Structure 1
Amino acid sequence: MAIREIVMHPNEVLEVKCKPVDTFDKELHALLDDMFETMYDAEGVGLAAPQIGIDQQIAVVDTREEEALELINPEVIKSSGKEVDLEGCLSFPGLFGEVERPFRITLKAHNRFGKEFKLKAEGFFARAIQHEIDHLHGVLFTEKVIRYIDPEGAEE
């Protein structure tokens, strides 16, 4: 396993629609392991492949509230409710803003072995998953911010 360099905005790979994964092999497994190690090292709760310069539909999420999750070719198939909450991004250090997202989601994705699964998530876990899926479509959280928040507590 290795810690990869996190790509910072305005790198163009962050705004590209990523390609689906069609090969589920040892290289993919190693990449997923590296992504977890990189995310934990950066003290994040999610990391998408474009954030390490790879334009493939791969993301990892670990909110510490639910089991760590690997998402390959993920797709939200159902959503409900609304919630506005604070988000940040490892590719935008020190930048935080309020973003509205569905509170509950159902998604389908593949695991590292290519097996499709469905998952229901809500609250912060759902928010983290949606944030990472957005990355895979070239959508940045800054495009959805309602209001930026100063980390020291003052609103911008």
Structure 2
Amino acid sequence: MAFRDIRVVGDPVLRTPCDEITAIDGRVRSLVSDLLETVDHDGRAGLAANQIGVSMRAFAWNIEGDLGYVLNPRLVEVSEDAQEGDEGCLSVPGLFYPTRRGRYARVEGTDLDGGSVVVEGEGLMARCLQHECDHLDGRLYLSRLEPAVRKEALWVVRDRF
């Protein structure tokens, strides 16, 4: 296990869709271990593999004391009923903007034994699942902001990063 540095906005790995995991080997087991150790800190809700520089479809979460991971996640359901709220990102540190997300989300994937995994939830868990799947698709939450807010956010990002 290793605590890993977080890649920040501007790093090309954050804008590149991640590769499917085709074999569960030592590298994948080490990745999951690193994701879990790195996300297991106050103020961290989720962490995608590309945020630590690994372009593989995996993420971990730390929601209200529940720590977990999923490999090859696919967002299979998002409610039309929306939640509003400020969202932040470890890869865009210190910035929080109002981001509309589905109130409920469901992800399907696999675990380290190759078994099927379903992760679902409302509120913060739903936001996390959507946010981390976006990361694995090479998308930052800034792209989901309303146009005027996105324009302001990008100016701030240019000044800070």
TM-score scaled to structure 1, two decimals? 0.87
Write the distance in 2 (CA, Å) between the matches of 1:94 and 1:143: 17
Amino acid at match of 1:45: A
In the aligned structure 2, how far is the partner of 1:125 from the partner of 1:39? 14
User: What are structure 1's unaligned runs of at least 5 residues?
Assistant: 151-156
Pairs aligned (count): 149
Alpha-carbon RMSD: 2.0
2:143 aligns with 143
How far is the alpha carbon of 1:42 from its aligned partner?
A: 7.1
TM-score (norm 2): 0.85
CA distance in 1, matches of 2:134, 2:42: 20
What is the correspondence of 1:104-123 to structure 2 with a 5 Å cutoff? 104-123=104-123
Closer/same/farther in 2, CA of residues 42 and 3 from structure 1, 3 Å limit: farther
For residue 69 of structure 1, what is the amino acid of its counterpart? Answer: G
Aligned to 2:92: 92
What secondary structure, in the 3-state scheme, does the structure 2 residue paired with 1:73 have? strand
In structure 2, runs of 5+ residues without a counterpart are: 154-161
Distance across 2 between alignment mates of 1:87 and 1:62: 15
Tell me the percent identity: 30
Give me the whole-angstrom Cα distance separating, in 1, the residues matched to 2:119 and 2:9.
30
Q: What is the deviation of 1:118?
A: 2.1
Residue 60 of structure 1: SS of its match in structure 2? strand
Partner of 2:129: 129
For the residues of structure 1 that align with 2:64 and 2:42, how far apart are their CA atoms?
Answer: 15
Q: Give 1:130 deviation, angstroms.
A: 0.9
Q: Is the 1:42–1:90 contact (alpha carbons within 8 Å) kept by the matching residues of 2?
A: no
SS at match of 2:119: strand
Matched residue, 1:33: 33
1:29-68 alignment runs, 5 A limit? 29-41=29-41, 43-64=43-64, 67-68=66-67
Deviation beyond 6 Å, 4+ runs, structure 1: none
User: 2:77, 2:45 → 1: CA distance?
Assistant: 22
Shift of 1:5: 1.4
Partner of residue 71, structure 1: 70
